[in-house]
Structure 1
Amino acid sequence: MAPQQPLTLEEEQLLLGNPSEATTSESNYNNFLMLKPQYTLSYSRDRGTPNWVSWHVSREWMGNAARQDNFRSDPKLPEGWYRVTASSYSGSGFDRGHNTPSADRTSSEEDNSATFLMTNMIPQAPKNNQEAWANLEDYTRDLVQDGMEVYVVMGSYGEGGTGSNGSARTIDQGRVTVPSRIWKVLVVLQQGDDDLQRITFDTRVIAVDVPNTNTVRSDWGSYRTTVDAIESATGYDLLSALPAQLQQVLEGRTDTGPVK
């Protein structure tokens, strides 16, 4: 058997599949595919946020680069589209919540900087972002430090969340939608090669779905659910790159593993 060709960085970020069949056609303005070396996303022009973002967390992506904090508009959005800016969330009571976390991309300043594009942000309730979500992000990196690698897909849906200033359906004069729910799916593997082929019926899959409010518990484990439930809520086909029977088993289970 011929050796598997190395994946491009863009293929690496989308290994589990394209959940919404997003395309790079500008006419597909609410399901617009953006391929980046650091992560891949489906963007909604009308919501002003990503629908979902997909990325790979491994030791190769982690280094000593400092947090760049250079929030900015994404120049890769099609000409004529409104571009959310670094100040679009100012005074809203919501954090500029990363999808792909800054700390997942510290191998270079360029990689870290890519996580501060506003196409990687959602309006996130501060307690959600800084506690429950931060704890799950830390746990993901702890897994990598313990010899694992993790494929992650994250997204949000619905309209209306509660931040530090109370409830809101939109911010930035209606140009950015505040999601009501934020979800994430993690596929956890031992470090190795041919990752897609190594996903089995025994692979750990963690799925969470958390309300976008300032009253969420810091314990992300209490929000665990099934991939099937997230698919029902969003209409997406997650883990679509896997064989159908394997998908069915993995997507129907609720994780009961450790949370720290």
Structure 2
Amino acid sequence: MKKIILTLFSLIAIQALTFGQQEVKSNDGKTVLLYGDGTWLYSDSIPLYNIKATNITKLELPKTNSKDKIITHTGYSLLYNETHEQANWVAYELTKEETNKLFERTDKFISDPKVKTGTASENDYEGSGYDRGHLAPASDMGWSANTMAESFYYSNMSPQTPSFNRGIWKNLEELVRTWAIENNTVYVVTGPVLTNGLQTIGQNKVTIPNYYYKVILDYTEPNIKGIGFILPNTGSKEQLQYYAVSIDSVEKMTGIDFFPLLQDDQEDLIEKTLCIKCWSWKNIKTAIEKNENKAAESVQCNGVTKAGEKCKNKTLNISGYCYQHETQINSDNPKGNTEEIKNHSNEPTKSSSTSVQCSGTTKSGSRCKRMTTSSNGRCYQH
């Protein structure tokens, strides 16, 4: 059957494939997705409405061997690969509520204390030309100060080209957040495709992957479904649909068994089916990100300084705490033991009554998009 179908396709179309899938028409008018390795499947397969969800704990975790040590953080879990100095995979559940970003990026990259063999470091990436690319995105971890801080562990980083990390990879991360909101909950597994013979950076010889993958499961009735992506580690102007594949295809390339806790018949149906039209493809940049975590006007921070005085910073965070005192939210001990983040001048921050866009410039040369009430017109980073 497979050989008969393939004879109906243009050889030119086959030769033109790079890595993503390409839609072609069979003689009977059906749309088929054709892949560079010669495999194919029908596009827009029947939605999985007949699947009944069951209560499964840690559904996001891939299958592991008994010798594998899964590292669990507050917001995500990972399996670290010491040979390649990065994770084989990171996995987490992302709910609609967790897309409500209450905490800004820390940009404080640190070693993962739970990786006893040590991780990559700043020196490995410095001057390499590669970004410290998040596997579990910081924007998926903004629902608590702890999860945001943990997202900057080097165990969650992988060398990504800037055009990839800041381009199509970022677009996919934003789309997954849209899906979490639309479907209430999604289960996400992300990682590099690690093979022997790849180039490395730094003294720790951190492997530079040629490809990255992401698989997403929506296990909420009635439209239970799954989808995978395999993207080359380079900039791309292609639509994300071009890189969409079945989860089975990602398993074949990585050797990882995703969502093994599903019932066998459910796992088989979900992972072999690719239904492009079952997912939305427009990132809505949700109102939650844009508005719901910002107050209508800036207010004085509720935090308490080390000197025991009320913080004088202004903030737009709905929590009522500025970035320096976010760790005091819901704390029984406002003064806490957490070291406060100091501004670059080591002087108390003077605040204006109106928030403005930061006038600072990022490393990529773009204007900073953060809002600030500082009288000098710059956010804490600039």
> TM class by shorter-chain length?
0.7 to 0.9
Cα drift, residue 73 of structure 1 = 0.7
Match of 1:84 among 120, 127, 131: 120
Q: Against the structure 1 CA distance between its residues 159 and 115, is the aligned structure 2 distance closer, same or farther, given a 3 Å change threshold?
A: same
Cα drift, residue 59 of structure 1 = 3.1
My pick for the range that moved more, 93-102 or 202-211, is: 202-211
1:149 equivalent in alignment to 2:185: yes
Instruction: Report SS of the residue matched to 1:50.
Output: strand
State the TM-score, normalizing by the size of structure 2: 0.55
- 1:162-201 maps to which residues of 2 (within 5 A)? 169-173=199-203, 175-190=205-220
Q: Against the structure 1 CA distance between its residues 147 and 234, is the aligned structure 2 distance closer, same or farther, given a 3 Å change threshold?
A: closer
Q: Against the structure 1 CA distance between its residues 22 and 179, is the aligned structure 2 distance closer, same or farther, given a 3 Å change threshold?
A: farther
Q: Against the structure 1 CA distance between its residues 32 and 177, is the aligned structure 2 distance closer, same or farther, given a 3 Å change threshold?
A: farther
Question: What is the alpha-carbon distance in structure 2 between the residues aligned to residue 102 and residue 208 of structure 1?
Answer: 20
**Letter in structure 2 aligned against 1:40:** S
**2:281 alignment partner in structure 1:** 259
Question: What is the alpha-carbon distance in structure 2 between the residues aligned to residue 86 and residue 33 of structure 1?
Answer: 24
Structure 1 alignment gaps of length 5 or more: 1-5, 162-167, 191-197
Q: Over residues 190-211 of structure 1, what are the superposed CA-to-partner deviations in whole Å (9 max), with x where a residue is unaligned?
A: 5xxxxxxx5x7x4121210011
Q: Over residues 115-173 of structure 1, what are the superposed CA-to-partner deviations in whole Å (9 max), with x where a residue is unaligned?
A: 00000111112222111111111112122333521110111113599xxxxxx711113
Q: Conserved in 2, the CA contact under 8 Å of 1:207 and 1:255?
A: no
- 1:92-241 maps to which residues of 2 (within 5 A)? 92-146=128-182, 148-159=184-195, 169-173=199-203, 175-190=205-220, 202-214=223-235, 216-217=236-237, 219-241=239-261
Structure 2 alignment gaps of length 5 or more: 1-54, 283-382
Question: What is the alpha-carbon distance in structure 1 between the residues aligned to residue 65 and residue 105 of structure 2?
Answer: 30
Question: What is the alpha-carbon distance in structure 1 between the residues aligned to residue 247 and residue 258 of structure 2?
Answer: 7
**1:67 alignment partner in structure 2:** 105
Question: What is the alpha-carbon distance in structure 2 between the residues aligned to residue 211 and residue 222 of structure 1?
Answer: 12
Question: What is the alpha-carbon distance in structure 2 between the residues aligned to residue 212 and residue 52 of structure 1?
Answer: 16
Q: Conserved in 1, the CA contact under 8 Å of 2:112 and 2:119?
A: yes
Cα drift, residue 72 of structure 1 = 0.7
Cα drift, residue 228 of structure 1 = 0.9
**1:18 alignment partner in structure 2:** 62
Q: Over residues 31-87 of structure 1, what are the superposed CA-to-partner deviations in whole Å (9 max), with x where a residue is unaligned?
A: 542111210011001100000010111133233211111111111111xx2421133
Q: Conserved in 1, the CA contact under 8 Å of 2:60 and 2:93?
A: no
Question: What is the alpha-carbon distance in structure 2 between the residues aligned to residue 147 and residue 16 of structure 1?
Answer: 16
State the TM-score, normalizing by the size of structure 1: 0.79
Provide the alpha-carbon RMSD of the alignment: 2.3
**Letter in structure 2 aligned against 1:236:** I
Identity of aligned residues (%): 29
| Higher Cα radius of gyration | 2
Cα drift, residue 233 of structure 1 = 1.2
Q: Conserved in 2, the CA contact under 8 Å of 1:160 and 1:179?
A: no
Question: What is the alpha-carbon distance in structure 1 between the residues aligned to residue 196 and residue 164 of structure 2?
Answer: 14
Q: Against the structure 1 CA distance between its residues 160 and 90, is the aligned structure 2 distance closer, same or farther, given a 3 Å change threshold?
A: farther
Cα drift, residue 221 of structure 1 = 1.8
Question: What is the alpha-carbon distance in structure 1 between the residues aligned to residue 113 and residue 210 of structure 2?
Answer: 27
Match of 2:91 among 54, 57, 81: 54
Question: What is the alpha-carbon distance in structure 2 between the residues aligned to residue 159 and residue 252 of structure 1?
Answer: 24
Q: Conserved in 1, the CA contact under 8 Å of 2:60 and 2:92?
A: no
Q: Against the structure 1 CA distance between its residues 256 and 147, is the aligned structure 2 distance closer, same or farther, given a 3 Å change threshold?
A: closer
Question: What is the alpha-carbon distance in structure 1 between the residues aligned to residue 180 and residue 250 of structure 2?
Answer: 25
